Amino acid sequence: MAFSLALRSGRRGSAASLALAVAALLAGCAGVPLHPPAPATPPAPAGGPDIVAVPSAPGAALLRPRARWQPVDWSELPGWDGDRVLEAWSALNRSCERPSTGWAATCADALLNAPSDEASARAWLQSRLQPYRVESPEGAAEGLVTGYYEPLIDASRVPRGSYAVPLHRPPADLGVRKPYWTRQQLDTLPAAQAALRGREIAFVADPLDALVLQIQGSGRLRLTEPDGSLRTVRLAFAGHNDQPYKSVGRWLIERGEIRAEQASWPGIKAWARANPQRVQELLWSNPRVVFFREEPLPDPQLGPRGAQGVALTPGRSIAVDPQSIPYGTPVWLASTEPLSTQALQRLVVAQDTGSAIVGAVRADFFWGWGDQAEQQAGRMKQPLRLWVLWPRGPRS
C-alpha cells in the first residue's frame, strides 16, 4: 500500500504510494503487453489460496487458482548472483512467524540455521528451495510491477489554523448500516456527520493528504499534541464505508481537466491548487472513505503490517495476488528501476496485497517511507517477471 493509491484502499492492515496512488488514480488505464497466450492449463485444485497442486511427475508445473508455476534451474533467474540476498533474511524470518501451508518445516530450518554471510545464505536457499517461473494460466510470463510507500504527513491532535481535515476512527454504527454513508453524505448530511462526531484521531491541512492516507490504507503522522509536543504515530487501516473506490485521476481525465500523462500525484495537486473551488467535487467523485486506528511506532525502522500480518521491509517486501503467490513466499523479482533502464533484480518476500493487485505476474513493491520512497513509488510502473522459491520437501 500501485497511482498505487487507488489500490491500497482495499488492503487489510497494510502500508500504503504515491506511485501506487498514481497507479491507483489511473486504476489500470495502462498495462504491459503480455506474451501470446499458450494453451490453457487444467483448472487449479480446490482447497483455498494456499494449496499448491502436487506434480504428477518430476518437472511438472504446479497449479494455483490464478497462476501456473513452471520449475526452472537457478541459472534462469536474471542477476541471481548479484543480489545481497542476506538483506532479505529479516523479511523471511518475519513471514516465518506466520508460515503458510507447506512452510512450517522450512521456516523451522531457517530459524535454526540462520546464515552468517552471503555465501551461506545463497547456499541455504539453493539447497532448500526450488525456483519456479510464475506464469498466467495461459502461459504469459511478463506482467507489471508498481510501487507503494508509507506516507508521512504533518497533523494536529486538535483542529487549529489550517489543520481542519479530520481523520476518523470507525464509527460505532459502521457494521450496522450496509453500505455505509458515501463520502459526500458524510460531509453533508447531519445524521452522517453525527456518526463521526467524537471519532476524530487527528487533523491534517490538505484534504488530498487525507485522501492519500485513505487510498494507501495506512501512514505515519508527525503529530502536534495540544501541549505543543511532537511525536510520530502510525495510522493503520481499520475499515471502510463499503462503497466502491473511484479514481480521482480518471475522473479528471474523463472530464477533460487533465491529460492522461498529467495524472500523477503532483499533476493532480497542481490542478487542485488551480481549482480550489472544485476540490470538494473532486473528492466526492470517490465515494469510498477509509477509517483508521492509531498505533504506536516503537521501531521507526519497521514498516506497517501487510496482509500477512507481519511488518513490511523496505525494498524486500511486495504485495501480490494471494491466488497466485501465497503470503510468506520468497520471490525473485526482475524488473527495472522507475523511469530507468537500471536493473531491479532482487530477492523479496510476498507479504501484502491490494485490491488492484490481481493476476499471476503482478506485484507492488514496498519502497518504505520518506521523500525518496514517495518519489520512487510514484514513478514505478515497469515490466515484470517473477520466480517463486518453494520448499523442495523433506530432504534425504
Mean pLDDT of 110-133: 95
Q: pLDDT class for 217, splitting at 50, 70, 90?
A: confident
Predicted confidence at residue 274, as pLDDT, reads 97
- pLDDT surpasses 80 at 2: no
Q: pLDDT class for 194, splitting at 50, 70, 90?
A: very high
Decide which of 2.40.240.50, 3.40.1350.10, 3.30.160.270, 3.40.50.1000 is the CATH code for 5-30+148-295.
2.40.240.50
- Domain boundaries defined on the chain: 5-30+148-295, 62-144+303-391
Predicted confidence at residue 185, as pLDDT, reads 98
Q: Which CATH superfamily is domain 62-144+303-391 in?
A: RlpA-like domain (2.40.40.10)
Neighbour tally for 321: CB within 10 Å = 22
Q: pLDDT class for 393, splitting at 50, 70, 90?
A: low
Predicted confidence at residue 51, as pLDDT, reads 44
| Percentage of the chain exceeding pLDDT 70 | 84
50-54, 71-75, 139-143: least confidently modelled range: 50-54
For residue 374, what are the CA distances in angstroms to 6, 14, 36, 212? 15, 16, 34, 11
Query: Between 279 and 267, whose confidence is greater?
Result: 279
Predicted confidence at residue 298, as pLDDT, reads 85
Q: Determine the Cα–Cα distance for residues 11 and 218; give it in Å rounded to an integer.
A: 9
8 A C-beta contact, residue 196 and residue 178: no
Predicted confidence at residue 231, as pLDDT, reads 94
**Residues ≥6 apart with Cβ < 8 Å to 294:** 169, 201, 202, 233, 234, 235, 236
Query: Between 269 and 56, whose confidence is greater?
Result: 269
Average pLDDT, the chain: 86
